[in-house]
Amino acid sequence: MENFKVTVKDILKRRLFKNATLITGGNGVGREITWTHILEMEAFDSFINGGELILTTGSNMPLDSKEGIPKLKKLIELEVAALCIELGTHVQEIEPVIIAFANEHDFPIIIFRDVVKFVDITQDLHTILINSHHEQLKYLHDLSNVFNELSLEPNGVLKILKKLHESFNLDVVLVSDDKQLFYYPLKNKEQAETILSLIDTEREVEPYHEVLFHDDYYTVFPIKGLGSSWGDLYIQERSAALDEFSFSIIDRATLAIAQIMLRNKTIEERKQNQEENLVQQLLHGEEYESTAALKFLPAPAENLYYRLIMIENSSYHKEMRDEDWEEIKLQQSIILRSIFKRHNFFPAISITKNNIAVIASYYKSSYANSDIDIFTIISEAIKKSNKDNIFRGKNSYIGISSLQKDYAKLNKCYAEANAVLAIQKMDILDILFFEDIGIYRLLMNLPKHELEAYVFDYLEPLLDHSRQTKNDLLLTLAVYLETMGSKKETSERLSIVRQTLYHRLEKIEELMGEDFMKPTNRQAIELAIGAYALLGNKVN
């Protein structure tokens, strides 16, 4: 990569510098020059971006005395590449203390004892820099083609890593989302396996940030596909040492690797018809071959558990062509499998035009305490997978069954997850898990006519009054019961003054009876409000 940099050493070889003398900073001639700038104004801070070769006559920089040190220090702090000064007009000689200060910081100072045309130097150096930029673009284009060609060859990932190593002379390690390990040079197997073990135990890192594994720094580059992360590429270098050109090369390598992964995932997913059939058989309580099940489900074990996740996200519409739906279905499966595998689950997936079912099995040792938190994280990841026409994540409904061990209970889990979906879609409760369904676990098993009769028995006076007066006493009663009879919290949640609440409670007592808050009556009324909502009525 050094071949594309224009350094102080390079420009000293140019014809226009044949009479120039480098008087300081011999150890800094490897500094990269990104631009050249004629600078004569007193206040120059805002005109410097770093990496410039500064040309001056010294009118703004008294380098013939120690008073020039603050100005020189400022140039060094602004990461100027080097300073060229024409002696004679404003500065006759460079003060020894200035030379000592510049040498201390390996900062190159170049002097011209004869008159030179700064415009000629500027034009010459800018030509070099522009040519170098064009060479970089050509190299980047050619290297992208090489990466793409390698992505079509056997062991393409390893060959791309090898090419990266040759480009940077740095060690590279790739860890996929399912913990596959690739690395180059091949002699670094032990080092790569150490990184893999540390990734298993340490927190996730931000992309393009550096991480420290023992005594070695690595910069992390994500492998992205279909809006998900399919792995991370680790380059053994600190992020600050990688310039924009390096980032461009690595990004093109990660893109080529992502194409390989997408192709492999696509091939694997196209083989999943058997898996889909098995999942559907399990959900509907049909007979299935146990030997076939072992291909897609982990073998029963003492610490093996699972939950069923049902997802509705309306990706399919009637006008969609069959081939388009098959492609979307394939991509949905890839996205979901990647999300669940990233969190150490063994997913078995079935995707239909109406919904998605995921049997998410895991070993209890993976989550020593509750699995609620990790399933919540996964649900959020699904919601964020919001790629149009592939996975409308934010518009998804997600229902999660109770925790089970026996796959024979999947039919029961199917009913549980669908019950959560029904409650979500009716906007009754904002829940994910069947455990949080509460009284609706009982109510959903009752026929409609029994629910209607129950609501009529307990809420008829209140509902009749609301229809006649347009005064929603049912909402007031529901909130009052939810707050355990707290008048202060009820008035705050309803955004009404306390006096208005008192009038409403008096009317409720008149209609429902003065003992409506006694435990037995209260429980019956709360159940009736739940039944009323389950019948498709808005309570809040």
Judgement on whether residues 198 and 287 belong to the same structural domain of the protein: no
Q: Where are the alpha helices (DSSP H) in 64-117?
A: 69-77, 96-104
In 3D space, the residue among 297, 306, 287, 295 whose CA is nearest the CA of residue 271 turns out to be 295
Distances (CA, A) of 332 to 74, 337, 393: 55, 8, 10
**What tokens were used for 221?**
């580059």
Judgement on whether residues 305 and 409 belong to the same structural domain of the protein: yes
Which of 128, 162, 188 marks a domain boundary? 128
Peptide bond just before 154 cis, omega within 30 deg: no
Cα gap 126→119, rounded to integer Å: 10
Judgement on whether residues 463 and 395 belong to the same structural domain of the protein: no
Which residues touch 433 (CB under 8 Å, ≥6 apart)? 372, 375, 400, 402, 420
Which residues touch 275 (CB under 8 Å, ≥6 apart)? 295, 296, 348, 349, 350
Are 246 and 141 in contact by the 8 Å Cβ rule? The answer is: no
Are 348 and 358 in contact by the 8 Å Cβ rule? The answer is: yes
Residue 134 lies in a domain: no
Residue 1's pLDDT is 54
Cα gap 460→162, rounded to integer Å: 77
Single-letter amino acid, residue 155: N
Residue 397 pairs in a beta bridge with 312
Residue 16 lies in a domain: yes
Cα gap 52→34, rounded to integer Å: 6
Residue 141 lies in a domain: no
For the chain, residues with pLDDT lower than 50 are 201-203, 368
Single-letter amino acid, residue 195: I
The domain spanning residue 235 has which CATH number? 3.30.450.40
Judgement on whether residues 253 and 187 belong to the same structural domain of the protein: yes
Residue 144's pLDDT is 92
Judgement on whether residues 430 and 449 belong to the same structural domain of the protein: no
**Total H helices, total E strands in the chain:** 18, 16
Nearest 5°: phi and psi at 18? -65, -25
Residue 202's pLDDT is 45
**What tokens were used for 46?**
């805002």
Residues comprising the chain, all counted: 540
Judgement on whether residues 162 and 255 belong to the same structural domain of the protein: yes
Residue 476's pLDDT is 86
What is the CA 90 to chain-centroid distance, rounded?
56
Provide the 10 A C-beta neighbour count for residue 261. 21
The domain spanning residue 123 has which CATH number? 3.40.1390.20
Cα gap 296→272, rounded to integer Å: 9
DSSP per-residue letters across 200-252: HHSPP--TT-EEEETTEEEEEEEEEETTEEEEEEEESS-GGG--HHHHHHHHH
Which of 267, 300, 317 marks a domain boundary? 267
The domain spanning residue 397 has which CATH number? 3.30.70.270
Residue 144 lies in a domain: no
In 3D space, the residue among 476, 460, 493 whose CA is nearest the CA of residue 539 turns out to be 476
Residue 69 lies in a domain: yes
Torsion of CA 262, 263, 266, 270, to 10 degrees: -170
Judgement on whether residues 323 and 354 belong to the same structural domain of the protein: yes
Residue 367's pLDDT is 54
Cα gap 290→384, rounded to integer Å: 35
β-pairing, 82-86 vs 52-56, is: parallel
In 3D space, the residue among 186, 140, 182 whose CA is nearest the CA of residue 157 turns out to be 182
Residue 244's pLDDT is 83
Judgement on whether residues 315 and 417 belong to the same structural domain of the protein: yes
Judgement on whether residues 405 and 469 belong to the same structural domain of the protein: no
Residue 201's pLDDT is 42
Which residues touch 264 (CB under 8 Å, ≥6 apart)? none
* Percent with pLDDT over 90 in the chain: 21
Cα gap 534→407, rounded to integer Å: 30
Residue 99 lies in a domain: yes
Which of 267, 284, 301 marks a domain boundary? 267
Which residues touch 148 (CB under 8 Å, ≥6 apart)? 256, 259
In 3D space, the residue among 33, 26, 27 whose CA is nearest the CA of residue 10 turns out to be 33
Where are the extended beta strands (E) located within 226-372? 228-235, 304-312, 346-351, 356-363
Range of the domain at 354: 273-437
Judgement on whether residues 109 and 187 belong to the same structural domain of the protein: no
Cα gap 521→96, rounded to integer Å: 97
Judgement on whether residues 113 and 172 belong to the same structural domain of the protein: no
Cα gap 263→249, rounded to integer Å: 22
The total number of structural domains that make up the chain: 4
Residue 378 lies in a domain: yes
Provide the 10 A C-beta neighbour count for residue 37. 17
Residue 146 lies in a domain: no
Judgement on whether residues 44 and 93 belong to the same structural domain of the protein: yes
Q: In terms of C-beta density within 10 A (0-12 exposed, 13-18 middle, 19 or more buried), how is residue 313 classed?
A: buried
pTM, full prediction: 0.59
β-pairing, 35-38 vs 304-312, is: unpaired
